[in-house]
Amino acid sequence: MPLLSDVLQALPSIGTGSEFITRFGKPYSQGHLNGDTFDDVKRAIWKQQDVCHPSNLTDNLPSDTELFLYYFPDRREAMNPTTGTLQIVLDENDRIVGWTYSRTMQRDENNFRMRRNS
């Protein structure tokens, strides 16, 4: 399974969610932002907890934006590894408009490996 660093390097050249799945496999889960609960406070918390690309990604997302979620456990830890997430953000036409990943993995992207979705 790929390292987070490999996925982040490839992302700018991948145009759609379908292409991402073809290259990296199905997401662990997928869904839509909940328009009823996704307010400015939640946007600020998300931006604080995740590295966003582009940096203003969470500022203007429509409430029904689709997300793919992938888990990345730390490959150096066998028992109860630290695990971060990568979220691929898609528009209504399946185009990737950005991505976010857990700040716990920032500057350590070579040590987190994608968990296979069974």
Q: Could you tell me if residue 97 is inside a domain? A: no
41: left (phi over 0), alpha (psi -120 to 50) or beta: alpha
Q: Which domain holds residue 63?
A: 4-81+106-111
- 25-68 pLDDT, tens digit per residue, is 999 999 988 766 677 788 888 889 999 999 999 888 887 789 99
Q: Could you tell me if residue 21 is inside a domain? A: yes
Q: Return the ∠ at Cα 75 (arms to 71 and 80), rounded to 5°.
A: 75
Q: Could you tell me if residue 29 is inside a domain? A: yes
Q: Which helix (H) or strand (E) holds 69?
A: strand 66-73
Q: Could you tell me if residue 88 is inside a domain? A: no
Q: Could you tell me if residue 23 is inside a domain? A: yes
- 2-15 pLDDT, tens digit per residue, is 999 999 999 999 99
**How many structural domains does the chain have?**
1
Q: Could you tell me if residue 22 is inside a domain? A: yes
Q: Could you tell me if residue 44 is inside a domain? A: yes
Q: Could you tell me if residue 48 is inside a domain? A: yes
Task: Tell me the whole-structure pTM to 2 decimals.
Answer: 0.89
